[in-house]
Structure 1
Amino acid sequence: MARPMDGAKTWLAVAREVGDLLDNVDETSFGAAVTELLTPGRRWFATGQGRSGLVASMTAMRLMHLGQDVHVLGEATAPSVEAGDGLIVVSGSGETPVSLHYVRRAKEHGARTLAVTAHPSSSLAKLADVVLCVPSRDTAQFSGSLFEQGSLLVLDAVVMALAAGREGEHARMQARHTNMQ
């Protein structure tokens, strides 16, 4: 594991790490995630624990902006997961017990699962129907910071790919953006 940088301009170290991560995202797994999210009529649920859960929530918000029927798992207004639904699970380790439980339960109910993880051979990846690997293992940052940063950016890129080629999509997304601020 890399050591933290001493002195000024540590933000440049973060920028290099994020840039390296993005350079190493697998195009095939990225494309598989985009294809999975393009499934017409599928309701989506998003989850993760800790900061990964915040990334999952931000992704759910952007999918809502795209007009998808999406919910954050565990929120009071989230309906039950049913056959044909999809579950996005963000977990750096791919071993978080709560996340693994959610994937197993979703699969029992006939839902598809999309894992976003740094570990493509993790328990989560083995359970999931589709795996989007966010390669973030070597970092000078604390704990899972690079994974969480990379996951947000990669999932925002997925949203960009979903919106690509749709005339007027940004205007429709803006119209769905909250007006209660």
Structure 2
Amino acid sequence: MSAIRRVVDEVAGVLAEVDQDAFDRLVAELREPGRTWFCTGQGRSGLVARMAAMRLVHLGHRAHVVGEATAPSISAGDALLVLSASGTTAVSRHHAETARGVGAAVALVTTAGPSPLRSLADVTLDVPVSASVQFGGSLYEQAALLTLDAAVLAIDAGDLATREEMHRRHANLQ
């Protein structure tokens, strides 16, 4: 079996196991109007968080990447999107504790299992990754990205007017 086929099969297997109710709860949180989103994750999960922030901006939300120089402070009514496969990442846990402390919501995308971050989250989406032939957390990061892209698709529902607005919001200084 080719390496590409193995990756495709692994990702498809994980996505097929994502709980629809949990996915719908995350989508409902992401649809919440007037909320400013802060996105965080460490390592490659942080790269996925950055891509999620970009799509939230395209959808018309105010969104920031935690740690960027232009990110304001989080406050009550805002939300923090955390990506952490283990649910134990110390920096992400600190971000979630800070968000909860000021009255912001916390949404977590993680792998299955109890964790400190899960206990801080208002909504959790499990990306049920088990063994992988890929290095490190690659399968989690791939599946998390595609799951969040699917959430964007669920929000815009392929509506042409929404897509036109998304294109207008797309960065033009590239």
Q: Deviation at 1:167?
A: 4.5
String of CA shifts for 1:33-90, please: whole Å, max 9, x gaps: 0011111111110000000000000000001001101111110000000001000000
Distance 1:11 1:96 in 2: 30
1:85-124, aligned counterparts within 5 Å? Answer: 85-124=78-117
2:48 to 37, 49, 55: 55
Q: Deviation at 1:166?
A: 4.1
2:144 to 140, 146, 151: 151
Distance 2:153 2:61 in 1: 14
Distance 1:91 1:120 in 2: 12
Distance 1:34 1:95 in 2: 24
Match of 2:154 in 1: 161
Distance 1:138 1:124 in 2: 22
Match of 2:14 in 1: 21
Distance 2:57 2:18 in 1: 24
Which amino acid counterpart does residue 6 of structure 2 have in structure 1?
A: A
Helix, strand or coil at the partner of 1:21: helix
**Is 1:132 aligned to 2:121, yes or no?**
no
Match of 1:3 in 2: none
Question: TM-score with structure 2 length normalisation?
Answer: 0.97
Helix, strand or coil at the partner of 2:39: strand
Which amino acid counterpart does residue 62 of structure 2 have in structure 1?
A: D
Question: TM-score with structure 1 length normalisation?
Answer: 0.93
User: Is this contact kept in 2: 1:119–1:125, CA < 8 A?
Assistant: no
Which of structure 1's runs of 4+ aligned residues deviate more than 2 A?
Answer: none
Distance 1:112 1:120 in 2: 20
Helix, strand or coil at the partner of 1:168: helix
Q: Deviation at 1:132?
A: 0.7
Q: Where does the alignment leave 5 or more consecutive residues of structure 1 unmatched?
A: 1-7
Match of 2:66 in 1: 73
Helix, strand or coil at the partner of 1:76: coil
Q: Deviation at 1:119?
A: 2.7
User: Is this contact kept in 2: 1:93–1:117, CA < 8 A?
Assistant: yes
Matched positions, count: 174
**CA RMSD, aligned part only?**
1.1
Match of 1:176 in 2: 169
Gap change, CA 1:121 and 1:106, over 3 Å in 2 = same
